[in-house]
């Protein structure tokens, strides 16, 4: 069996985030219809190759981290939701500085390009999203 898919390695990596409480609810490309479920989703329509060299290429993997959370008129609840994504973003930034990356050959950077924001709402639930990236060098 070969290497795991990049999205699978990113899922394993994100599952180590101390703010995500239930690993089994961290899916790939699927958000369970349940509060405090999470999903890693590859972005559509981007060029994975940033720079091409004779010895390989500099690449990116763009993804979102989504979560379904309670959403209502309770200000503290909504602050807590925002804080959750701030914590996830800070965790990514700290790991990036410490060079703690997913188990993918050639990775040299991971981070978030947005803060968490509401992507969709339904009744008393919202899907929050944070846009993320992974950069790596691939030989060949």
| pLDDT-derived band at 80, boundaries 50, 70, 90 | very high
Residue 83's CATH number? 3.30.2000.30
Q: What is the pLDDT of residue 52?
A: 96
Report yes or no on 11 lying in a domain: yes
Residue 126 CB burial class (10 angstroms; 0-12, 13-18, ≥19): buried
Report yes or no on 1 lying in a domain: no
Report yes or no on 97 lying in a domain: yes
Report yes or no on 79 lying in a domain: yes
Q: Rounded distance, CA 92 to CA 6, Å? A: 17
Report yes or no on 60 lying in a domain: yes
pLDDT tens, 24-53?
589 999 998 888 899 999 999 999 999 999
The residue written with tokens 């990596």 in the block is 13
Q: What is the pLDDT of residue 23?
A: 53
pLDDT tens, 83-140?
999 999 999 999 999 999 999 999 999 999 999 999 999 999 999 999 999 999 999 8
Residue 52 structural domain: 6-139
Q: How many domains does the chain divide into?
A: 1
DSSP 3-state assignment of 30? coil
């Amino acid at each position: 069996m070969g290497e795991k898919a990049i999205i699978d390695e990113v899922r394993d990596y994100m599952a180590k985030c101390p703010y995500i409480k239930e690993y089994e609810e961290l899916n790939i490309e699927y958000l369970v219809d349940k509060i405090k479920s999470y999903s890693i989703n590859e972005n559509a329509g981007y060029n994975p190759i940033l720079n091409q060299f004779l010895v390989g290429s500099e690449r990116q993997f763009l993804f979102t981290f989504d979560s379904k959370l309670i959403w209502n008129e309770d200000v503290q609840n909504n602050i807590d939701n925002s804080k959750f994504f701030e914590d996830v973003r800070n965790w990514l930034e700290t790991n990036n500085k410490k060079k703690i990356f997913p188990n993918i050959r050639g990775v040299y950077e991971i981070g978030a390009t947005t803060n968490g924001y509401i992507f969709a709402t339904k009744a008393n639930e919202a899907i929050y999203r944070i846009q993320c990236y992974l950069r790596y060098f691939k030989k060949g």
